[in-house]
Structure 1
């Protein structure tokens, strides 16, 4: 027997066997197709489960799960505390976690124009750490690295900018499918494009995942249980995901209909969270099911280069969040307060989500104050189109649009045996709708078919998971 204790937010999946036939879990695969990740303990197979977050698990010698007991449950127990005291508590906790995680190692910091990695940059700078910073932008897209460089320069960190180019996926997709086990679609793994170039940057990554969820409200008001369910569905079901999942459900002759199945499954998971506050409850749901089964999956790519640390994933941060009144978390107040407190110059740099405004004036990101920037931005996109360089805003635009991308895409959709898992009319329908009808609505279904194609190929050549 062995015992495995999982973190509150695990940064990797741990699998175990359960009694049953080794057959595909078609219901779970339909959910995967709709939302882009597996829910709860589901995997591709009926006799395999992913260990739950924050549990102590007993595994026997044959790899079967014998017992699983929770050691932590998400809760909402707000303290009677001022914002200033909360900010001081957060500052001390966050900096102590980062100090403990990175020690005296050379730190690799992926930096964006948002708040999570910016908050890390300030903490690392305040602690006097040896940091190398990089950022990336889409080819023909918004120059996110411009903001990142300003942040790095303010902290006196060496900086490197990368361009994520059209079609980078295709010569890396086989490797990527083995790294992430096909538990996430491939078009979001931008770090895969620069993996080899990061190997000489430092000793340990400090990654900013999940800060935006923990340090903000998920809803501004108290809502009913049915409204909570609807809000979760709205957040997790991708464009076109319901259509693909329903088609798969029908083609595999599963009982009932997919939408009812998904709603019942999410409702049952929500019902296990004993929190009355709607915002805290939905945050707990996302941290239990979304973070470990979606956000964490492609962390394995970073691990191929160097060990990873995730300050926002830390158990003490999760415990801390459970005690903070929602009003003090709303609108990123704590992170903004921390940035202003530690580094005012850095707080004056553009906040990408509210560009061109910064942390002191982002409340002006509304009409008429933001009108000049919106007009300028629209004219820039129009100009790009007239020069034959459409403005790239989404990951899939680099992977699925254009003749070369189409050639590679068709290879994996139509020449790898995917039609032995997914009925060919479904593949044809999704592909044609993407090409001829509505790329935005069918990009996610197309990406999921690509993911299933690679999983199916690996399953056939590598044996069972």
Structure 2
């Protein structure tokens, strides 16, 4: 007998049960949205342990489970500056407990989550090695990360993600993430051999952008409107078409779109935060998106060094439930924390609001941003070389990449037993000859299912 307590937002998924018959309905959902929903897995008899639950496991089966936390919206009205101070104390306490005096590996971007971590780590006087990466042939995404590292006096490493890096690592990646995420997203896999040199523990900024922002919907959004909003957020381009095709190919009962809609609706009803649609959708994403998509890709980091994720801490989740939505909207708390703790970081351009920083970002509207928009448009016209902007372009575009992709799609006999060859050929043709952007997700999911088929042999 084993007792297991799962965090409110867990770092990793734990699966219990036997790998017997495939759960085709669950795989269709996976094809549409890129992650398994709720406690689904590839198998009907195997389940993922749910967040915020305590389990008793006996003979590799769940014998009992109890929920110990339910997402809620219980706002405590107080001034924003007081909330920011509460956040500072909590955030820095969590980071200090998580990393201790170890040398920290810190991924940096031009956004707010890792920048907020950088401010906390600099304030705590931790030893930090920072890094960032950009696509080969793409925009220099390391530009702002370098500035943040320099302001904090952190040693900094910048890398270029090479074209086609996936193919000589794909089977290793399949073992790491167990094929629970498509393979073009975990770019960190490109440098998996390098991380150990940088430090002893990762401090990762995942999920800050979800917890510390609104969901962009009216507070009085109806339940059906919330279902529609979530579907728009989670269903990938081409994903619905692939899922519908697989549903029919496997001769499943009913209609896939109705099945998915009803499942999302039931999960929202069980959350039950009627006074705030934003809080309810945030809870949905934290219960189902973070544990089943985000933490799947965290496994790449964890394969090298221990990981810490301060925004996943139970205390942070409890804190979020007490904050009025008007203060969560627009990332106000993180912005004011950075201004308070390290103004030099707040003065660095916020990548999502270029060319403005955290003191000026509210000017990112007409007419204030017009000069930058004109400059960017002229620059794009003058720079005729194609810019790599998407993960899949590095993996699927080009003769060598296409040959590797076709090998996995058409030369894997176990995959052909799972999905008819004409279905695979149809989506590959649409990706190649019709609309590569729209069908890139479909092809990436088929690639993932091909690796799964081989792995389960």
Q: TM-score with structure 2 length normalisation?
A: 0.98
**Separation in structure 1 between the aligned mates of residue 395 and residue 379 of structure 2, nearest angstrom:** 23
CA-to-aligned-CA distance 1:99-141 (integer Å, 9 cap, x gap): 1111100000000110000000000001111000000111122
Q: Alignment RMSD, CA only?
A: 1.1
2:52 paired residue number = 54
Quickly say closer, same or farther: Cα 1:336–1:64, change in 2 above 3 A. same
Aligned mates of 1:329, 1:211 — CA distance in 2: 11
The match for 1:107 is 104
Partner of 1:161: 158
Shift of 1:199: 1.4
What is the CA–CA distance in structure 2 between the aligned matches of 1:298 and 1:318, rounded to whole Å? 21
Q: Which residue of 2 aligns with 1:14?
A: 14
Given candidates 28, 41, 44, the residue that maps to 1:43 is 41
- Give the drift of 1:382: 3.7
Among 450, 454, 457, the residue aligned to 2:451: 454
Deviations 1:47-98 (A, max 9, x none): 00000000011110x2011111101110100002111111110010000110
* Cα distance per residue 1:297-338 (max 9 Å; x no partner): 011110121111000000000000011100111000000000
**Alignment match, 1:141:** 138
Per the alignment, in what secondary structure is the counterpart of residue 163 of structure 1? Answer: strand
SS of 1:144's equivalent in the other structure is coil
Deviation at 1:143, TM superposition (A): 1.1
Using the TM superposition, give the Cα deviation of residue 383 of structure 1 relative to its aligned residue in structure 2, in angstroms: 4.0
Of 73-82 and 329-338, deviating more is: 73-82
Whole-Å separation in 1 of the counterparts to 2:239 and 2:379: 32
Q: Distance in 2 between matches of 1:145 and 1:55?
A: 39
Number of the residue aligned with 1:5? 5
1:374 is displaced (CA, Å) by 2.6
Distance 1:375 1:400, change over 3 A: farther
Instruction: Report deviation, 1:397.
Output: 1.1
Question: What's 1:463 paired with?
Answer: none
- The answer to whether the 8 Å contact 1:381/1:391 transfers is no
Alignment equivalent of 1:415, drawn from 396, 411, 414: 411
| Conserved? CA contact 1:109–1:207, under 8 Å | yes
Alignment partner for residue 181 of structure 1, among 174, 178, 183?
178
Measure, in 1, the Cα distance between the counterparts of 2:184 and 2:352.
21
Distance, in Å, in 1 between the alignment partners of 2:365 and 2:216 is 20
Structure 1 residue 378: Cα displacement: 3.3
Q: Does 1:279 align with 2:278?
A: yes
Residue 8 of structure 1 and its aligned partner are, at CA, apart by 0.1
The 5 Å alignment of 1:22-421 reads 22-60=20-58, 62-222=59-219, 223-276=221-274, 277-384=276-383, 386=384, 389-417=385-413, 418-421=415-418
Structure 2 CA distance for aligned equivalents of residues 378 and 33 of structure 1: 36
SS of match in other structure, 1:358: coil
Deviating above 4 A after TM superposition, structure 1's stretches of 4 or more consecutive aligned residues are none
Q: Separation in 1 of the partners of 2:20 and 2:192?
A: 35
- Indicate conservation of the 8 Å contact 1:392/1:398, yes or no: yes
Structure 1 counterpart SS, 2:132: strand
1:204-237 per-position Cα deviation (integer Å, ceiling 9, x unaligned): 0000000000000013422111111110100000
Please give the alpha-carbon distance, in whole angstroms, between the structure 2 residues aligned to 1:456 and 1:31: 17
Looking at structure 1, the residues matched to 181 and 326 of structure 2 have their Cα atoms a distance apart, in angstroms, of 33
**DSSP-derived class of the 1:73 partner:** coil
User: Contact 1:381 / 1:390 at 8 angstroms: preserved in 2?
Assistant: no
Q: Distance in 2 between matches of 1:29 and 1:374?
A: 42
| Secondary structure at 2:456 match in 1 | helix
Q: Where do 5+ consecutive residues of structure 1 fail to align?
A: 461-465
> 1:197 Cα deviation (Å)?
1.3
After superposition, the Cα gap between the structure-2 partners of 1:383 and 1:173, relative to the gap in structure 1 and judged at 3 Å, is farther
Q: Secondary structure at the match of 1:396?
A: helix
Give the whole-Å Cα distance in 2 for the aligned partners of 1:229 and 1:434: 29
> Which stretches in structure 2 are left out of the alignment for 5+ residues?
none
Alignment of 1:427-446 (within 5 A): 427-446=424-443
Q: What is the rounded CA distance, in whole Å, between the counterparts of 1:390 and 1:379 in structure 2? A: 15
| Structure 2 SS opposite 1:297 | helix
